[in-house]
Amino acid sequence: MPVINKIREILLDFKYAKIFQIIAVYFALIYHVSFLIAFGLLRIYPMFLYNIYSVLLFSMLAVLVLSQKHTFERQFIFFYTEVIAHQILADYFLGGMGSFHFFIFLTGIVPLLTFRKHFGLAAFYGLLSAVGFTILEVVAPYIEPKYQLSTTALVVIKTINIASFSIVNIIGLLMYSYLVMLVEKKLQTQVEIKTYEAQAKTEKLLKIQGYIINSLANLVDNRDVDTGEHIQRTSAYVELISSKALEQGLYKDEIDSAFVDYIKRAAPLHDVGKIVVSDMILKKPGRLTEAEFEEMKLHAKEGGRVIREVFAMSDDKEFIKIAADVASCHHEKWDGSGYPNGLKSTQIPLCARIMAVADVFDALVSRRCYKEPYPVETAYKIIRESAGSHFDPQIVDIFLSQKDEIEKVMGKFTR
């Protein structure tokens, strides 16, 4: 689980391991000071004298843990040895019921938090503590105390132990809660960084992709004088059609906001295949012969090939598919009489059916080297009459429902 892995990562960080070590040592110091006072009042002198040693030891460790000159391992050996000895002496003088074996187990956890690079050693201490804890818990009821504790003495000792146990649990819970909060914040930061990096990478790729698209479109534009403004207008038309279809909930399985963006960016490439057509044919000021038209028809198939090869290394597979379909299928016809593959009806990719309407309309209203422009109303009529034969009827309806927007585009991108 990410949270558990991150907590482990944070615990193994020097800064947080040191915090745990400081808490452990200072808690042990307070614990032994409490028992020093208790054993003094109860006149249990062996334990009183030992706790003098314990308080001195943990006072020294409390100073050492604030310094980075001493390793965790050395400090822990003193810590570990003292705790084990304290519990065994407590069993011997007070009986198993008068000591508190939980701290042996707790001490076994400490190296897991502080021995950052010594997992083997930490695991050894942890296992040893677990075994010692288990043994003492099993034999505790059978240990005869050297001191006969009064009920009051037993209550005092148990109260200190229970209070210490509660404090350890509270501190542990608070520390764990803090770590979870820290981890969540760290994970959120990482997500934000990755999201930002992904967005930056996407933006960079889109800029590169846009540069390639513009370069290819300009390459065609430089060879075919009719292409430049045609590219701008047809890009605007396909955006109008696809946006309106999205707004009306048409073609729900295919059209979404990403589709609208893809087809708008792909539209300038619809005639990229013309780079394989000779200038004599592209710039011929009259009607093409049958052989010339067959060569011109190659631009559809070649356009798809060029796009797939140019964008072969791109991860944006959906864009490549739409761009290639637009280039290779925008001369297919609804009734199957188009080229290069004679596709019909919905066999023709939706993006190409949209492109077909935009492409033909713009060709009708534009001046070409072989013809004068048709009046806009005549072009609208031809488009409507071709619905069901040349064009997808639904695409025609969407297109013709936006005449005002279409004519704005014509005014904007016409010299």
Give the integer Cα–Cα distance in Å for 284 and 399: 31
Q: Which residue has the higher pLDDT, 57 or 398?
A: 398
Closest among 133, 176, 189 to 7, alpha carbons compared: 176
- Alpha helices per DSSP H over 249-289: 257-266, 279-282
C-alpha 323: how far from its chain's center?
A: 28
In the prediction, which pLDDT does 161 show? 78
Q: How confident is the model at residue 271 (pLDDT cuts 50, 70, 90)?
A: confident
Q: Any residues with CB less than 8 A from the CB of 330 and at least 6 apart, and which?
A: 270, 300, 352, 355, 356, 359
Q: pLDDT at residue 8 above 90?
A: no
Q: How confident is the model at residue 303 (pLDDT cuts 50, 70, 90)?
A: confident
Q: pLDDT at residue 260 above 90?
A: yes
274 catalytically annotated: yes
Q: 73-104: per-residue pLDDT in tens? A: 666 777 778 888 888 888 888 877 667 777 77
Q: Which residue has the higher pLDDT, 161 or 369?
A: 161
Q: pLDDT at residue 111 above 70?
A: no
Structure tokens at 288: 């093409």
Go through 259-298 and write b for each residue having 16 or more CB atoms within 10 A of its CB, e for each that does not. Answer: bbebbbbbbbbbbbbbbebeeebbeeeeeeeeeeeeebbe
What percentage of the chain reaches a pLDDT higher than 70? 77
Q: pLDDT at residue 227 above 80?
A: no
* 3, 192, 193, 257, 403 from 196: Cα distances, Å: 22, 6, 5, 21, 41
Closest among 230, 229, 250, 232 to 241, alpha carbons compared: 250
Q: Do residues 104 and 83 touch, judged by C-beta distance below 8 A? A: yes
Instruction: Determine the average pLDDT of the residues in 163-167.
Output: 78
Q: 207-220: per-residue pLDDT in tens? A: 666 656 665 666 56
Q: Any residues with CB less than 8 A from the CB of 146 and at least 6 apart, and which?
A: 46, 92, 93, 94
CA atoms within 13 A on the CB side of 20: 28
Give the integer Cα–Cα distance in Å for 373 and 365: 5
Instruction: Determine the average pLDDT of the residues in 245-267.
Output: 92
In the prediction, which pLDDT does 170 show? 78
In the prediction, which pLDDT does 222 show? 52
pTM of the model: 0.53
Q: Do residues 33 and 40 touch, judged by C-beta distance below 8 A? A: no
In the prediction, which pLDDT does 64 show? 76
Indicate if the alpha-carbon torsion angle 208, 209, 210, 212 is positive or negative: positive
Q: 357-370: per-residue pLDDT in tens? A: 999 999 899 877 66
Q: Which of 117, 186, 244, 274 is catalytic?
A: 274
In the prediction, which pLDDT does 333 show? 96
